[in-house]
Structure 1
Amino acid sequence: MSQASEQNVQKTVKKLVLVVFAMFGFGFAMVPLYDVFCDITGLNGKTADTAAEVNDQGIDESRMVTVQFISHLAKGIPWQFEPMVREIQVHPGETKVVKFYAKNESNQGIIGQAVPSVSPGQAALYFNKIECFCFNHQPLKANEDIEMALQFYVDPELPADISTLTLSYTLYDITANADS
């Protein structure tokens, strides 16, 4: 092999090694970049994981917004989990309380954690939870049941083209990961 060919091979190998390291670094950066992107754009329907302040902007009585509630169980959690009301009408800025019912249908204690999501995704920025069972772990003994409250309001700044929000909760069994 000529010296020029060896130099070309070495250059190519160096470039490929650099590309591999760049791709590896980009892979690590994806999660925080995605979170920032979602926070800025409101995509992915993530709601705040801390309590909102009570609304002080007033109530927009000139319009109504439909808020739908749905629930899902993560695979393998032997609970019953559902909203006690499937849909309500609210004026933006109006504080409402709805309840969800949960029952541990197993013969052992389980700690559940509800994870919320709002659809359409951009509406998540305007859905404010003042009090929510999703802020805390929900330990239930065998066959125990509970009513869990959600107190919320829809921000009056909600874009006019959004007239329906869907709040979805997925309930996970976090017993193995919960602090003892």
Structure 2
Amino acid sequence: MSVDQQGQGQEADKRFNRGMMLRLVVIVGVMFGFGYALVPLYKKICDLTGLNVVTTRELYGGSLKNTQVDTSRTITVEFDSNARGPFAFRPVKNSMEVHPGEMVTIVYEVANGQSRDISAQAIPSYAPKQATEYFKKLECFCFKQQTLKAKEAREMPVVFVIDPKLPKDVKNITLSYTFFEVGTPVAQAPQGELESPPAARSGG
């Protein structure tokens, strides 16, 4: 093969390589643009079809955002605590202003000052009584017995949502917990109607 033929072959290879590189760059650019456009396209489809509008979870500063929050209403939720045993028990806040449909977290603190382990159970009650069925707890220390080791202090969260179907005339709700040592008599919670302990419910 002559030198001229070798030079022409190398030039052809270079042109082929440049063309292939250009095609790859175009393909990558198109794929990136398509992937970037999928997010707003997906949101638009959800808006048009009504999909994914019941509860969306978006992490903003550790809080969960619900897309069906009724911002036109504000409910004052007051938190009460009653200890029936050798421990301290209280909410970190006495009250909160919440919107129906908003996912909210309240924390209760408990401390066992004894030199022995203690098993305890919390029973919630609500006032007014009619608010009971609209107060939806998603996470709660009252779902099971709690065992506190000697001298242990603990924070226990309650995650709840107030159903937007709550009657319009209800503007204040009191959530009260009676936390009692298991195996000792328990007095009735002072407000509202007691729920049966979770262990006694069917279906958990």
Letter in 2 for 1:70: D
Letter in 1 for 2:143: F
Q: CA deviation at 1:175?
A: 5.2
Unmatched 5+ residue regions in structure 2?
1-54, 57-65, 185-204
- 1:73 pairs with 74, 83, 91, which one? 83
- 2:139 pairs with 112, 116, 131, which one? 131
Letter in 2 for 1:105: G
Asked if structure 2 preserves the Cα contact closer than 8 Å seen for 1:118 and 1:124, the reply is yes
Instruction: For 1:134-149, list aligned pairs within 5 A.
Output: 134-149=142-157
Secondary structure class of the residue paired with 1:111: strand
The 1-side partners of 2:174 and 2:80 are apart by 7
How high is the TM-score relative to the length of structure 2? 0.57
Q: Does 1:64 align with 2:74?
A: yes
Partner of 1:29 in structure 2? none
The 1-side partners of 2:136 and 2:142 are apart by 13
Asked if structure 2 preserves the Cα contact closer than 8 Å seen for 1:78 and 1:105, the reply is yes
Aligned residues: 122
CA deviations over 1:115-155 (Å, ceiling 9, x no partner): 00010001001000000000011101111010000000100
Secondary structure class of the residue paired with 1:106: coil
Partner of 2:176 in structure 1? 168
Partner of 2:93 in structure 1? 85
Secondary structure class of the residue paired with 2:116: coil
RMSD: 1.9
The 2-side partners of 1:92 and 1:82 are apart by 24
The 2-side partners of 1:147 and 1:114 are apart by 14
Partner of 2:119 in structure 1? 111
Asked if structure 2 preserves the Cα contact closer than 8 Å seen for 1:108 and 1:141, the reply is yes
Q: CA deviation at 1:57?
A: 7.8
The 2-side partners of 1:137 and 1:83 are apart by 18
Runs of 4+ residues deviating >4 angstroms: 54-57
How high is the TM-score relative to the length of structure 1? 0.64
Secondary structure class of the residue paired with 1:134: helix
Specify which structure has the bigger relative contact order, considering alpha-carbon pairs within 8 angstroms and separated by 6 or more residues.
1
Partner of 2:159 in structure 1? 151
Larger Rg over CA atoms = 2
The 2-side partners of 1:167 and 1:104 are apart by 23
Asked if structure 2 preserves the Cα contact closer than 8 Å seen for 1:57 and 1:156, the reply is no
Letter in 2 for 1:151: V
The 2-side partners of 1:119 and 1:129 are apart by 15
- 1:102 pairs with 81, 103, 110, which one? 110
Secondary structure class of the residue paired with 2:106: strand
Question: Alignment identity in percent?
Answer: 41
Asked if structure 2 preserves the Cα contact closer than 8 Å seen for 1:67 and 1:164, the reply is yes
CA deviations over 1:104-124 (Å, ceiling 9, x no partner): 111110011110001000100
